[in-house]
Chains A and B, each alone.
Chain A
Amino acid sequence: QVQLQESGPGLVKPSETLSLTCTVSGYSISSGYYWGWIRQPPGEGLEWIGSIYHSGSTYYNPSLKSRVTISVDTSMNQFSLKLRSVTAADSAVYYCARVGTNYYFDYWGLGTPVTVSS
C-alpha cells in the first residue's frame, strides 16, 4: 500500500522560506509517476502547487512559479517543497500526493498545517 507522510515546521515567519518533505513508503519514487503538492487555506478549496516527475522534470502553478521549487531525492524516497518569501496568505494545510495514470491524485498524505506568522 502506497503511503505518503508530510513533515516540516508548522510555523514559518513572513518573508522566510517554507520547506516541507514528503516521505513515500510502499512504492519506489524512482519507478515512475508524477508526485505533487496541493494546499488548502483554512476554509477554502484545494490549490495545486506543483508536480515533479520521478526523473526530476517539474511543473508549477503559474501563480506560484516564481517562488516555488520542488525537488526529488530518490535515494531517500522523498520529494520536497520550498516556497520562498511567504506571507500570511500562504498559511494552509499542505498535502503531498502521487499522480496516478489519467493525471489524478490517487494517494494522498494526511496533510500538515503551516501557519505564517511572526
Chain B
Amino acid sequence: QSVLTQPPSVSGAPGQRVTISCTGSSSNIGAGYDVHWYQQLPGTAPKVLIYGNSNRPSGVPDRFSGSKSGTSASLAITGLQAEDEGDYYCQSYDSSLSGDWVFGGGTKLTVL
C-alpha cells in the first residue's frame, strides 16, 4: 500500500491527452511538499519528468505538464506518442512515520 495513490493504468490513442492523478494526504502533498514525476520506459531506470510540481528539466518536451492542488497532483500528457508508453510515478516528501521520501504505486500508460 503506497502512501501516494495513483491509478494502476491509463490509456489513450496517439495524439490524445491523458492525465494521471496522484493523491496524498495532509502529511505529504497537503503539507505543502512538492510533487515530482518520473517516467520509466521498459527496461530502463526512472527519469525525472516534472519536478517541483510543474517544472520540466531541460530536454523534456512541453507535452508533459504537472499541477498540484490541495492533497493531490496531476500529470498531463498531450499529443500522446507511442514512445510515451511506460510507467509513471509520483513522488513527494512525508513528515509522518510513513517515511521521508515516498512514491506512488505507479501508473502504466498504454498507447493504443
Q: Are A48 and B103 in contact (CB under 8 A)?
A: yes
In contact, B45 and A103 (Cβ under 8 angstroms): no
Report A-chain residues with C-beta under 8 Å of the C-beta of B102. 48
- Cβ-based interface call for B2 (8 A): yes
Contact B34 A104 (CB under 8 A): yes
Which B residues lie within 8 Å of A51 (CB)?
100-101
Question: Is A106 a contact of B105 with CB atoms below 8 Å?
Answer: no
Report B-chain residues with C-beta under 8 Å of the C-beta of A111: 45
Q: Please give me the residue from chain A that is nearest to B96 by CB atom.
A: A62
- B45 and A46 within 8 A (CB): no
- B51 located at the interface, meaning its Cβ lies under 8 Å from any Cβ of chain A in the complex: yes
**Using an 8 Å CB-CB cutoff, how does the interface string of A38-57 with B read, 1 for contact, 0 for none?**
10000001111001000000
Q: A48-B102, A51-B101, A59-B100 are in contact. Are A104 and B47 (CB under 8 A)?
A: no
Residues of B within 8 A of A46 (CB): 38, 46, 89, 91, 103, 106
Residues of A within 8 A of B41 (CB): none
**Contact between chains at B104 and A45 (CB < 8 Å):** yes
- Closest chain-A Cβ to B55's Cβ sits at a distance in Å of 8
From residue 5 to 25 of chain B, which have CB atoms closer than 8 A to chain A? none
Partner of A102, one of B45, B46, B52, B89: B52
* A49-B105 Cα distance, complex, nearest whole Å: 15
Q: Which residues of A lie under 8 Å from residue B33 when comparing CB positions? A: 103
* Contact yes or no, A102 B34, CB < 8 A: yes
0 or 1 for each of A63-91: is its CB under 8 Å from B? (1 = yes): 10000000000000000000000000000
Interface-centre pick from B2, B91, B93 (highest chain A CB count, 10 A): B91
- What are 5 A-B pairs with beta-carbon distances under 8 A? A36-B101, A59-B100, A62-B99, A103-B101, A104-B48
Which A residues have a C-beta under 8 Å from some C-beta of B? 36, 38, 45-48, 51, 59, 61-63, 95, 99-100, 102-106, 108-111
